[in-house]
């Protein structure tokens, strides 16, 4: 058919002035398998991702489908930054788990002559290959629909089909890096302003068939050559190693921290080479093999100490610079992360995975096996009052060490087995020790008190004023959103009831297990109001309060602005506690040179006041006012347009909605949650 068309065109003299009519669209697919995939996306025929292409400044919008909350925002698709590892959800965009993809629209701002469209993805499994239809439009058709949802054929509303891509390999493993490039043998795909990606899942065997899209590039035929992302440089600043015994391979990337290079080579790499295989042997389970390949990246993108996603560890160079001394905490913090690489408890879906064990086991291995000489997890007389087995990190590590010595030398491997197989429940403790958890808790605290030579402090008496309203407050119109006894008035977002990760505990509304919690919302909607509450966040914890949340978004933050909550000292997110997420932050405090911070440390109660009225909105922490803003004002809208929320059509649009509490980022407890509706 193509030959026919070409011959007809050539016979017609008038078409000589438009030689493009002879041209043919072609799509090239390249696949680099898991073992050879490296940061930088270096393909043979497809150019590496660019950070100066026409998509870099374009507007990306989801027109159908829901983003997966574990992934990055649409920004990751055109920020010129690409993942440095095969399992790095936050560096990719992907549609919600269980869904069959969705549609993304790109607005280039004006009509340009499009030379080429490239898409890049990376995952070690079936989320690697790409399956999509690509449409383009100049937006000038009379019946043009800019945001056609699934069910509307784009070709019927002003769009042209450019490519029908299916990069899934016919044989062999699907994992690895993919590059897909669509161009035209005539040099131009045509003049377009809009692109539409109709993205499909790659498999239906499990819910994880939505591709990890890393970057989308649009090459303008008339623009200067694009600049590639720093892939080559990344390779020059990475070292590859094998563990002791040679079974596993790992890389240490230090592009953002060349000053740490010698330390990573002389101190960190030998520690990792020795301890990773040991940790894998400590935490076995039948049929499970710890990852044989992982990466450790020092990157300025991450703020905190270190964190692990899949087989990728990220470390904050700023923190490590202060901890590289011979006796510094640097290597030990990475040992903790190595345990996360081995744990991989996420595989057991539907099972209850308590956060205190997910963090307690790595800290147990770190403080009691790797560096016992530092006594880093000892509990002091002052800390005793707060000590509870589920205090997470070092506190839970201390409890695990005590229970191991007293009851069962193989306690931690046995707990690990149950957690990985999805059979863990608190009753496990009774089976292993003949004592219930609460009973063990009291026994452990008594042992700590005996060792310290102090009396065991009594559990704090219940404060009768907590979760109550005074007569004056009632008269002023305040209502309690939480009575300290049950979940009345709350449910999980787009779900019935409250997930088991949330509990009512000692008069608090507690997110005790972020893996099983999700975000909860009020049953009632609120328009204008004053909200007050107390929160107490765990070390490195991150949560948030959203308002004006509606059911239109895929996540509560897709519609509701967020009052950020986090442990300002150790949490990873650079958006600090009390800020309106990605939009407003308090002024610089001359005393510190940093943004004003009135929070008390993790583990202590803080008071929040949030006023949302048509005239002004105010954020306060512990009585200190942070800033004011006006919803829908010019200033507000300008900030939204510059933020990641620009791609979310429903963000901050509603003037009434649910209050939401975020539960999937860390342990946090709330109390005294009260609201005073305001009639405008
Ligand atoms: Zn951890």
Instruction: Please give the mean pLDDT across all residues of the chain.
Output: 88
Smallest CA-to-CA distance from 528 within 600, 651, 610, 429 is with 610
Model confidence over 506-544: pLDDT tens digits? Answer: 889 999 887 888 999 999 999 999 999 999 998 888 999
Q: How many CB atoms lie within 10 A of CB 292?
A: 12
Q: Identify which of 235-249, 376-390, 536-550 has the greatest average pLDDT.
A: 536-550
Model confidence over 481-504: pLDDT tens digits? Answer: 999 889 999 999 988 888 888 988
Residue 174 has pLDDT above 50, yes or no: yes
Q: How many A from CA of 308 to the centre of ligand 1?
A: 7
CA dihedral 495, 497, 499, 503 (to 10 degrees): 150
Q: What is the CATH number of domain 235-452?
A: 1.10.390.10
Q: How many A from CA of 370 to the centre of ligand 1?
A: 15
- pLDDT given at position 8: 26
> What is the fold of 3-234?
Jelly Rolls (2.60.120)
Smallest CA-to-CA distance from 177 within 216, 122, 124, 229 is with 122
Q: How confident is the model at residue 2 (pLDDT cuts 50, 70, 90)?
A: very low
3-state DSSP call for residue 594? Answer: strand
Q: How many A from CA of 358 to the centre of ligand 1?
A: 7
Model confidence over 305-330: pLDDT tens digits? Answer: 888 888 999 999 988 998 887 778 89
φ/ψ bin of 668: left (φ > 0), alpha (ψ from -120 to 50), beta (otherwise):
beta
Q: How many A from CA of 307 to the centre of ligand 1?
A: 6
Q: How many A from CA of 649 to the centre of ligand 1?
A: 35
- pLDDT given at position 236: 66
Q: How many A from CA of 359 to the centre of ligand 1?
A: 5
- pLDDT given at position 230: 54
Q: How many A from CA of 338 to the centre of ligand 1?
A: 9
Q: How confident is the model at residue 9 (pLDDT cuts 50, 70, 90)?
A: very low
Q: What average pLDDT score do residues 97-107 get?
A: 94
Residue 612 has pLDDT above 70, yes or no: yes
Q: How many A from CA of 293 to the centre of ligand 1?
A: 19
Q: How many A from CA of 362 to the centre of ligand 1?
A: 7
Give the right CATH number for 471-678 from 3.40.50.20, 3.40.50.720, 3.30.2290.10, 2.60.120.560: 2.60.120.560
CB-facing half-sphere around the CA of 57: CA atoms within 13 A: 5
Contact, 596 vs 651, CB < 8 A? no
Q: How many A from CA of 340 to the centre of ligand 1?
A: 7
Q: How many A from CA of 333 to the centre of ligand 1?
A: 9
| Rounded Cα distance, 27 and 184, in Å | 8
Q: What average pLDDT score do residues 282-293 get?
A: 94
Q: Which of 228-237, 349-358, 449-458, 660-669 is least confident?
A: 228-237
Q: How many A from CA of 408 to the centre of ligand 1?
A: 24
Note whether 3-234 and 235-452 share their fold: no
Q: How many A from CA of 540 to the centre of ligand 1?
A: 9
**What is the DSSP annotation of 191-240?**
EEEEEEEEE--S-SSSS--S--EEEEEEEETTSPPPPBPSHHHHHHTEEE
Residue 76 has pLDDT above 70, yes or no: yes
Q: How confident is the model at residue 3 (pLDDT cuts 50, 70, 90)?
A: very low
- pLDDT given at position 571: 84
- pLDDT given at position 282: 97
168 token code pair: 């899934």
673 token code pair: 């949650």
Model confidence over 396-428: pLDDT tens digits? Answer: 999 999 999 999 999 999 999 999 988 888 899
Q: How many A from CA of 26 to the centre of ligand 1?
A: 47
Q: How confident is the model at residue 44 (pLDDT cuts 50, 70, 90)?
A: confident
Q: Which of 305-309, 361-365, 448-452 is least confident?
A: 305-309
| Rounded Cα distance, 598 and 606, in Å | 9
Q: What average pLDDT score do residues 457-468 get?
A: 68
Q: How many A from CA of 345 to the centre of ligand 1?
A: 13
User: How large a percentage of the chain has pLDDT more than 90?
Assistant: 64
Q: Which of 8-12, 376-380, 544-548 is least confident?
A: 8-12
Q: How many A from CA of 385 to the centre of ligand 1?
A: 24
Q: What average pLDDT score do residues 339-358 get?
A: 76
Residue 232 has pLDDT above 70, yes or no: no
Q: How many A from CA of 460 to the centre of ligand 1?
A: 29
Q: What average pLDDT score do residues 108-116 get?
A: 95
55 token code pair: 């998509």
Q: How confident is the model at residue 86 (pLDDT cuts 50, 70, 90)?
A: confident
- pLDDT given at position 234: 44
Q: How many A from CA of 254 to the centre of ligand 1?
A: 21
- pLDDT given at position 11: 26
Q: How many A from CA of 381 to the centre of ligand 1?
A: 25
Residues around the ion ligand 1 (C-beta < 5 A): 359
- pLDDT given at position 229: 63
Q: How many A from CA of 404 to the centre of ligand 1?
A: 20
Q: How many A from CA of 539 to the centre of ligand 1?
A: 10
Sheet with 520-522, edge to edge strand ranges: 490-492, 520-522, 658-661, 542-549, 562-566
Q: How many A from CA of 294 to the centre of ligand 1?
A: 16
- pLDDT given at position 17: 34
- pLDDT given at position 237: 84
Q: How many A from CA of 31 to the centre of ligand 1?
A: 33
Contact, 577 vs 624, CB < 8 A? no
For the chain, the structural domain boundaries read: 3-234, 235-452, 471-678
């Amino acid at each position: 058919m193509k030959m026919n068309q070409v011959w007809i065109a050539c016979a017609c003299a008038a078409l000589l002035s438009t030689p493009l009519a002879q041209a043919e669209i072609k799509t090239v697919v390249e696949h680099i398998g898991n073992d050879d995939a490296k940061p930088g996306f270096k393909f043979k025929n497809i150019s590496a991702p660019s950070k100066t292409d026409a998509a870099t400044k374009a507007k990306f919008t989801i027109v159908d489908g829901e983003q997966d909350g574990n992934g990055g925002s649409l920004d990751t698709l055109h920020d010129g930054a690409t993942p440095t590892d095969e399992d790095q959800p936050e560096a990719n965009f992907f549609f919600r788990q269980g869904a069959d993809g969705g549609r993304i629209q790109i607005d280039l701002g004006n009509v340009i002559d499009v030379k080429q469209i490239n898409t890049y993805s990376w995952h070690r499994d079936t989320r690697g290959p790409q399956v999509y239809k690509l449409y383009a439009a100049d937006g000038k058709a009379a019946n043009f629909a800019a945001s056609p949802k699934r069910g509307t054929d784009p070709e019927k509303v002003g769009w042209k089909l450019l490519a029908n891509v299916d990069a899934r390999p016919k044989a062999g493993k699907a994992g690895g890096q993919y590059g897909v490039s669509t161009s035209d043998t005539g040099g131009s795909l045509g003049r377009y302003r809009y692109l539409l990606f109709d993205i499909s899942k790659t498999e239906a065997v499990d819910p994880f068939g939505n591709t990890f899209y890393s970057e989308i590039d649009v090459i303008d035929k008339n623009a200067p050559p694009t600049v590639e992302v720093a892939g080559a440089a990344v390779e020059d600043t990475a070292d590859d190693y094998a563990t002791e015994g040679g079974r596993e391979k790992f890389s240490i990337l230090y592009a953002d921290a060349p000053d740490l290079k010698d330390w990573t080579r002389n101190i960190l790499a030998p520690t990792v080479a020795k301890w990773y295989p040991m940790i894998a042997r400590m935490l076995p389970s039948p049929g499970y093999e710890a990852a044989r390949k992982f990466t450790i990246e020092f990157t300025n993108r991450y703020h905190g100490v270190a964190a692990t996603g899949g087989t990728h560890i990220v470390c904050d160079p700023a923190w490590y610079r202060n901890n590289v001394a011979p006796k510094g905490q640097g290597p030990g913090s990475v040992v903790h992360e190595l345990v996360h690489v081995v744990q991989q408890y996420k595989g057991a879906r539907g099972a209850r995975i308590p956060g205190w064990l997910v963090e307690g086991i790595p800290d147990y291995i770190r403080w009691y096996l790797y560096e016992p000489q530092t006594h880093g997890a000892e509990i002091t007389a002052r800390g005793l009052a707060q000590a509870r087995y589920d205090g997470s990190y070092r506190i839970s590590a201390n409890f695990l060490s005590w229970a191991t010595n007293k009851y069962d030398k193989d306690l931690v491997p046995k707990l690990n087995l149950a957690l990985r197989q999805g059979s863990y429940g608190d009753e496990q403790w009774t089976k292993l020790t003949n004592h219930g958890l609460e009973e063990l808790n009291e026994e452990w605290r008594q042992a700590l008190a005996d060792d310290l030579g102090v009396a065991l402090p009594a559990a704090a008496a219940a404060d009768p004023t907590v979760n109550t309203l005074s007569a004056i407050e009632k008269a002023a119109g305040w209502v309690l959103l939480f009575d300290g006894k049950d979940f009345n008035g709350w449910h999980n977002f787009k779900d019935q009831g409250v997930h088991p990760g949330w509990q009512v505990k000692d008069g608090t509304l507690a997110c005790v297990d972020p893996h099983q919690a999700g975000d909860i919302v009020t049953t009632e909607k609120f328009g204008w109001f004053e909200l007050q509450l107390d929160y107490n966040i765990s070390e490195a914890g991150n949560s948030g309060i959203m308002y004006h949340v509606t059911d239109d978004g895929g996540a509560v933050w897709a519609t509701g602005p967020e009052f950020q909550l986090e442990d300002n000292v150790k949490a990873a997110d650079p958006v600090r506690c009390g800020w309106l997420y990605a939009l407003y932050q308090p002024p610089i405090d001359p005393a510190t040179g940093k943004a004003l911070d009135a929070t008390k440390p993790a583990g202590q109660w803080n008071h929040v006041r949030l006023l949302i009225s048509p005239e002004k909105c105010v954020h306060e922490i512990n009585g200190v006012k942070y800033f004011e803003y006006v919803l829908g004002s010019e200033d507000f809208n300008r900030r939204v347009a510059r933020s990641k929320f620009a791609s979310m059509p429903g963000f901050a649009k509603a003037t009434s909605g649910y209050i939401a509490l975020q539960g999937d980022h860390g342990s946090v407890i709330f109390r005294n949650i009260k609201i005073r509706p305001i009639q405008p």
